[in-house]
Structure 1
Amino acid sequence: MSGALHVDVREDRVVATIDRPETRNAIDAGLVAELHELCRLLEDEPRPLVLAGGDGVFVSGADIRQLRERRRDDALRGINSGLFDRLARLPLPTVAAVDGHALGGGAELAYACDFRVATPRTRFGNPEAGLGILAAAGATWRLRDLVGEPLAKEVLLAGRVLDAQECLAAHLVTEVVEPADLLPAAHRLVDRVLRSDLLALRLTKLALRVPAGAHPAFDDVAQAVLFETEEKERRMTAFLERRSRP
């Protein structure tokens, strides 16, 4: 994959870096297409994802020059919301490595990931209302679910920009590290994820997304699938053998 998104496919994970420095990594139609192609890759061959921006900026938002030209039918197509929902539905966990500003669509891109790690210069905000539009690609519900309604309202309605320590206190990010340690921190998080069984991770992600009314039936069926796997037998046997050692 070439263009604004550099993709490094590894044996056990994928690392994707957004690189549009001339626009501070703004999301344009080309980047949307490349991110869809990244999602297709991860749907076909599931792996955890580390998604990063450049040095000092994650994603500054949507490309305002293109956004200004969009009309009703463009909004109804759900250009960004459809992409971010696809990202959120990827089979295995995703980590956004956020250095610098994650604003507007950039913040919503990070909200769609399962985890976010940050640096001291990270800033999250949704200034869409100031541009005469709505944060319509997930912020009105993902941010609320992540940090709670009162803080989400401050960001969405009062223009509050959250710094790194505020994000950490609100559990919007899992860790704040120096910029040089950002990607290593994201990889450490993926390493922790990969200690678990991949099928169990996939079904757990699905369980977290199903409506409340689908529990416990979904959980029981998913557990029935896992109970029949060789990996469950192997892992539980190894656990019992460790416990029995003097």
Structure 2
Amino acid sequence: MTRVHFENRSGIGLLTLDSPETPNSLSSDFLGEIRQAVESLPALDVLIITGVGKSFVAGANIKEMEALNPQEAKEFSRRGHEVFTAIENLPCPVIAMVNGFALGGGCELMLACDLRVASSRAKFGQPEVGLGIIPGFGGTQRLTLAVGPAKAKELIYTGRIIKAEEALAIGLISQIAEPEELEAAALTLAQEIQKNSAAAVGQAKRAMAQGLAEGFEAGLAAEVERFAECFEHGDQKEGMTAFLEKRKPAFGGK
């Protein structure tokens, strides 16, 4: 029985992690299922990732990790990196719809997404040091990019769990919604993105990713290239013509 479900809602994809008995903890097998699902996605305008039950993802599977030797631990970490990098590198924007606990590997999965919308009941943290380890699925790097070095060090060194209000205040998430309104909030955000040129949104994502990975000057150079490439796509002509004609553009997709 699959633990990863996909639904295409007219160009907005919904990828749901469904292993509530664990609760959604990331074992090697589960990571493999997520990677397979991500690699099988059709072309989308936006992807939303969420979980079933009380957890977005409660963390990595501690029962599996407890018995690992150093070489096996290295492979486990690399597997998480590969899956989350695949999510991060998707051409479309990815929204984490955080329905509950996003701890350890769950926080790291969320950080691999472009945008994060969370339930008011959600909780976040990187509590790995309390287990004698460090974040191993990208948390030491992506959390620093998301909230800055000082706050990232505070959260990782203390292992402190924070609530949604604090997560919003430090920039870890971008929106809070009541649990019953969470899906609507995530879909509204996705639809706001979808109404624009998918080609242009994708180019913006590429430029920002390059700047984050390679530094400010490289990001500026990437912006010049991605800006110019927009003029090779029909959406540029349509968008500007529609603006001048005072009508809504009819973008042609990717």
Deviation at 1:84, TM superposition (A): 0.8
- 1:101 maps to 101
Classify 1:134/1:192 alpha carbon distance in 2 versus 1 (closer, same or farther; 3 Å). Answer: same
Conserved in 1, the CA contact under 8 Å of 2:110 and 2:116?
yes
* Aligned-residue RMSD, C-alpha: 1.6
- 1:119 maps to 119
Deviation at 1:73, TM superposition (A): 2.5
Q: Supply the distance in 2 between the matched residues of 1:37 and 1:236 (Cα, whole angstroms).
A: 39
SS in 2 for 1:22: coil
Normalized against structure 1, the TM-score is what?
0.92
Normalized against structure 2, the TM-score is what?
0.89
- 1:216 maps to 220
Conserved in 1, the CA contact under 8 Å of 2:50 and 2:98?
yes
Could you tell me which of 31, 42, 51 is aligned with 1:53? 51
- 1:69 maps to 67
Q: Supply the distance in 1 between the matched residues of 2:137 and 2:39 (Cα, whole angstroms).
A: 19
Q: In the alignment, residue 5 of structure 1 is paired with which amino acid?
A: V
Q: Supply the distance in 1 between the matched residues of 2:45 and 2:237 (Cα, whole angstroms).
A: 23
Q: Which moved more, 1:69-78 or 1:154-163?
A: 69-78
Classify 1:125/1:15 alpha carbon distance in 2 versus 1 (closer, same or farther; 3 Å). Answer: same
Q: In the alignment, residue 169 of structure 2 is paired with which amino acid?
A: A
Q: Supply the distance in 2 between the matched residues of 1:215 and 1:23 (Cα, whole angstroms).
A: 40
- 2:237 maps to 233
Residue-by-residue CA offset, 1:65-90 (whole Å, 9 max, x unaligned): 11112232233330112211111111
Q: Supply the distance in 2 between the matched residues of 1:171 and 1:178 (Cα, whole angstroms).
A: 18
Q: In the alignment, residue 121 of structure 1 is paired with which amino acid?
A: R
Conserved in 1, the CA contact under 8 Å of 2:13 and 2:44?
no
Q: Supply the distance in 2 between the matched residues of 1:75 and 1:81 (Cα, whole angstroms).
A: 12
Q: Supply the distance in 2 between the matched residues of 1:239 and 1:28 (Cα, whole angstroms).
A: 50
Q: In the alignment, residue 226 of structure 1 is paired with which amino acid?
A: C
Classify 1:22/1:215 alpha carbon distance in 2 versus 1 (closer, same or farther; 3 Å). Answer: closer
- 1:8 maps to 7
Please, which runs of 5 or more residues in structure 2 have no aligned partner? 248-254
Residue-by-residue CA offset, 1:30-70 (whole Å, 9 max, x unaligned): 2211211122123x524421111123221110111111122
- 1:85 maps to 85
Classify 1:5/1:215 alpha carbon distance in 2 versus 1 (closer, same or farther; 3 Å). Answer: closer
Residue-by-residue CA offset, 1:156-175 (whole Å, 9 max, x unaligned): 00122110100111121111
Q: Supply the distance in 2 between the matched residues of 1:55 and 1:97 (Cα, whole angstroms).
A: 13
Q: Supply the distance in 1 between the matched residues of 2:63 and 2:94 (Cα, whole angstroms).
A: 29
Deviation at 1:5, TM superposition (A): 1.1
Q: Supply the distance in 1 between the matched residues of 2:114 and 2:129 (Cα, whole angstroms).
A: 26
Conserved in 1, the CA contact under 8 Å of 2:26 and 2:61?
yes
Q: Supply the distance in 2 between the matched residues of 1:219 and 1:122 (Cα, whole angstroms).
A: 35
Classify 1:76/1:159 alpha carbon distance in 2 versus 1 (closer, same or farther; 3 Å). Answer: closer
- 2:155 maps to 155
Aligned-pair identity in percent equals 35
Q: Supply the distance in 1 between the matched residues of 2:67 and 2:244 (Cα, whole angstroms).
A: 62
What pairs with 1:166-185 in structure 2 (closer than 5 Å)?
166-185=166-185
SS in 1 for 2:21: helix
Classify 1:39/1:47 alpha carbon distance in 2 versus 1 (closer, same or farther; 3 Å). Answer: farther
Please, which runs of 5 or more residues in structure 1 have no aligned partner? none
Number of residue equivalences: 241
